[in-house]
């Protein structure tokens, strides 16, 4: 049985761990609120962008010289996965989940004979995938040094993707990230970006009616050429925001669990400590009594 | 006087949303004034000043470096990266930006025509910024 002193030390160390996890939980909760409101604030732009794109896309998609960002290269041989993960750990299975999801997807694509390339955004996902797929990496980006990830950072990622497309480095591009469903549930999702997945004309036929009446200045294809890279950046920005909200949600849950576990541990150790203390007292008493009897 | 809803959104947040009487936009092919009941349009914006009129007076002048606008009879939505009130523009900033863009343009001289055009557009938008700063 452990000595009283070592038990006391254990209890103290678990207590300070609990203090740390509790503080981290509270920090994560505050940051989560901020991340959520940022994600909320970004929604109007994305919505309006989508609306414009829907009306433009249907006008241009049928043309033979439609921009590549919209229709892709026509091939399906090389897939680029943009994997977005957190930059830090201590958030439960958050980063592992998106990593595992990406790995399954890479395996699946490769089993169909496709070539896969990876652009990793976020440090944790990059290290996870590097272990197995280092040869498929075409780029790695991280915003670890930044306090707040802004739209310019998303534009940077989008510029990298566009550059690769211009070089003809891939045919299909999709985004892999943790979609933020609510604070305790983040779902790893793959979302196709190039060729752009436009809403089907049949789905919103009533909405398409008035949209067809828009006049364009300059011509449709010119606006579209300017709008598409922006749209790419918006989609990436949204994924980054959802990742950051999801990250803090996940961290909060993980730290809450850790705090609870530490509490349980302290109870168990305290019980153990008291038992040992009593056993020591009893033993000392027996020794005294039997010593007195022997006289 | 009749009004329409003017919405100004950046990727990061909704900057402005209120009813106004008239707005003039720096459209890609020339300045464009929008009154309520305008025909539906989608326009690209170049760098320039958006001015807003309410109650017969210009109440707001914002500089945008580029973006898009969706015009409908009852609503105008402007999608722009960033908007600065003209009063806050500074000459020094604009000049620094012009110098930066000129360097980028020179570097893009060997690049693809698209890259050159993009650099040129940025330079023009920076020049518009200087103009707006001087006029303010």
- Nearest residue on chain A to B9, judged by CA atoms? A45
Q: Which candidate, B81, B65, B78, B87, places its Cα nearest to that of B34?
A: B78
Mean pLDDT, chain A, rounded, equals 86
In a shared domain, residues B27 and B48: yes
Helix, strand counts (H, E) of chain B: 2, 10
**CATH number reported for the structural domain that contains residue B59 in this entry:** 2.60.15.10
In a shared domain, residues B15 and B66: yes
- Position A82 scores a pLDDT of 92
- Nearest residue on chain A to B81, judged by CA atoms? A151
Yes or no: say if A46 and A238 are a contact pair by the CB < 8 Å rule.
yes
The full set of domain ranges for chain A reads: 24-198+207-254
In a shared domain, residues B73 and B113: no
In a shared domain, residues B11 and B75: yes
| Mean pLDDT (whole number) for B26-36 | 89
In a shared domain, residues B81 and B93: no
Q: How far apart are CA A114 and CA A152, in angstroms?
A: 32
Task: Answer whether A164 touches B (CB < 8 Å).
Answer: no
Q: Is the pLDDT of residue A274 over 90?
A: yes
Could you tell me if the ipTM is greater than 0.85? Answer: no
In a shared domain, residues B108 and B63: no
Yes or no: say if A42 and B12 are a contact pair by the CB < 8 Å rule.
yes
Split at pLDDT 50, 70, 90, the class of A290 is very high
In a shared domain, residues B122 and B69: no
| Contact call for A48 and B9, based on CB within 8 A | yes
Chain A residues near residue B39 by CB distance under 8 angstroms: 215
Task: Answer whether A2 touches B (CB < 8 Å).
Answer: no
In a shared domain, residues B54 and B116: no
Chain B residues near residue A46 by CB distance under 8 angstroms: 11
Pairing of strands B4-9, B48-54: unpaired
Q: Is the pLDDT of residue A271 over 60?
A: yes
Q: What percent of chain B is predicted at pLDDT more than 90?
A: 9
Chain B: residues touching A (Cβ < 8 Å): 7, 9-14, 27-29, 39-44, 68, 70, 77, 79, 81, 112
In a shared domain, residues B65 and B117: no
Q: Which domain holds residue B120?
A: 89-135
CA atoms lying within 13 Å on the CB side of residue B110: 1
Split at pLDDT 50, 70, 90, the class of B133 is confident
Phi, psi of A89 (to 5 degrees): -100, -150
| Contact call for A234 and B77, based on CB within 8 A | no
In a shared domain, residues B19 and B55: yes
Chain B residues near residue A41 by CB distance under 8 angstroms: 12-14
Q: Produce one character per residue of A284-293: b if its CB has 16 or more CB atoms within 10 Å, e if not.
A: eeeeeeeeee
Pairing of strands B22-27, B48-54: antiparallel
User: Which of these three, B69, B86, B103, is where a domain ends?
Assistant: B86
Yes or no: say if B10 and B81 are a contact pair by the CB < 8 Å rule.
yes
Q: Is the pLDDT of residue A187 over 80?
A: yes
- Position A18 scores a pLDDT of 96
Split at pLDDT 50, 70, 90, the class of A32 is very high
DSSP A52-90: HHHHHHHHHTTSTT--HHHH--S--SEEEEEEE--SS--
CATH classification code of A24-198+207-254: 3.40.1380.10
Beta carbons within 8 Å of B103's beta carbon, 6+ residues apart: none
Number of structural domains (chain B) is: 2
Residues in chain B: 136
Hey, which of A84-88, A233-237, A282-286 has the most confident mean pLDDT? A282-286
Yes or no: say if A245 and A179 are a contact pair by the CB < 8 Å rule.
no
| Contact call for B68 and A52, based on CB within 8 A | yes
Among A52, A150, A218, whose Cβ lies nearest the Cβ of B28? A218
Q: Is the pLDDT of residue A126 over 60?
A: yes
In a shared domain, residues B23 and B78: yes
Yes or no: say if A167 and A209 are a contact pair by the CB < 8 Å rule.
no
């Amino acid at each position: 049985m452990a000595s009283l002193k070592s038990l006391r030390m254990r209890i103290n160390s678990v207590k300070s761990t609990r203090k740390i996890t509790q503080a981290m939980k509270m920090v994560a909760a505050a940051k989560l609120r901020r991340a959520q409101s940022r994600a909320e604030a970004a929604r109007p732009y994305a919505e309006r962008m989508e609306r414009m794109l829907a009306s433009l896309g249907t006008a241009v998609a049928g043309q033979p010289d439609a921009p590549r960002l919209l229709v892709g290269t026509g091939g399906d041989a090389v897939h680029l996965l943009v994997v977005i993960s957190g930059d830090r750990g201590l958030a439960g299975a958050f980063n592992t989940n998106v990593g595992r999801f990406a790995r399954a997807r890479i395996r699946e694509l490769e089993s169909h004979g496709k070539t896969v390339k990876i652009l990793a955004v976020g440090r944790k996902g990059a290290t996870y995938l590097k272990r197995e797929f280092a040869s498929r990496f075409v780029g790695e980006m991280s915003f670890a040094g930044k306090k707040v990830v802004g739209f310019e950072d998303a534009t940077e990622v989008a510029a990298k993707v566009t550059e690769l497309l211009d070089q003809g480095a891939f045919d299909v591009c999709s985004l892999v990230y943790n979609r933020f469903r609510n604070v305790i549930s983040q779902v790893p999702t793959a979302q196709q970006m190039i060729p752009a997945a436009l809403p089907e004309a049949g789905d919103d036929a009533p909405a398409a009616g008035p949209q067809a009446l828009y006049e364009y200045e300059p011509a449709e294809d010119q606006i579209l050429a300017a709008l598409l890279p922006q749209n790419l950046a918006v989609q990436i920005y949204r994924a980054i925001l959802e990742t950051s909200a999801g990250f803090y949600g996940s961290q909060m849950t993980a730290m809450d669990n850790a705090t609870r576990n530490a509490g349980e541990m302290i109870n168990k150790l305290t019980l153990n400590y008291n038992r040992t203390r009593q056993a020591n007292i009893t033993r000392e008493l027996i020794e005294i009594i039997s010593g007195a009897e022997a006289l | 006087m009749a009004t329409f809803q003017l919405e100004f959104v950046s990727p990061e947040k909704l900057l402005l949303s209120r009813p106004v009487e008239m707005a003039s936009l720096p459209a890609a092919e020339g300045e464009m004034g929008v009154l309520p009941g305008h025909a539906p349009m989608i326009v690209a914006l170049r760098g320039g000043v958006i001015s807003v009129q309410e109650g017969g007076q210009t109440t707001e002048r914002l500089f945008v470096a580029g973006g898009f606008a969706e015009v409908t009879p009852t609503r105008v939505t402007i999608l722009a990266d960033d908007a600065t009130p003209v009063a806050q523009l500074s000459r020094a900033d604009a000049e620094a930006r012009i110098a930066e863009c000129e360097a980028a343009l020179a570097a893009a001289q060997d690049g693809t025509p698209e890259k050159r055009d993009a650099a040129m557009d940025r330079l023009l938008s920076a020049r518009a910024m200087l103009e707006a700063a001087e006029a303010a």
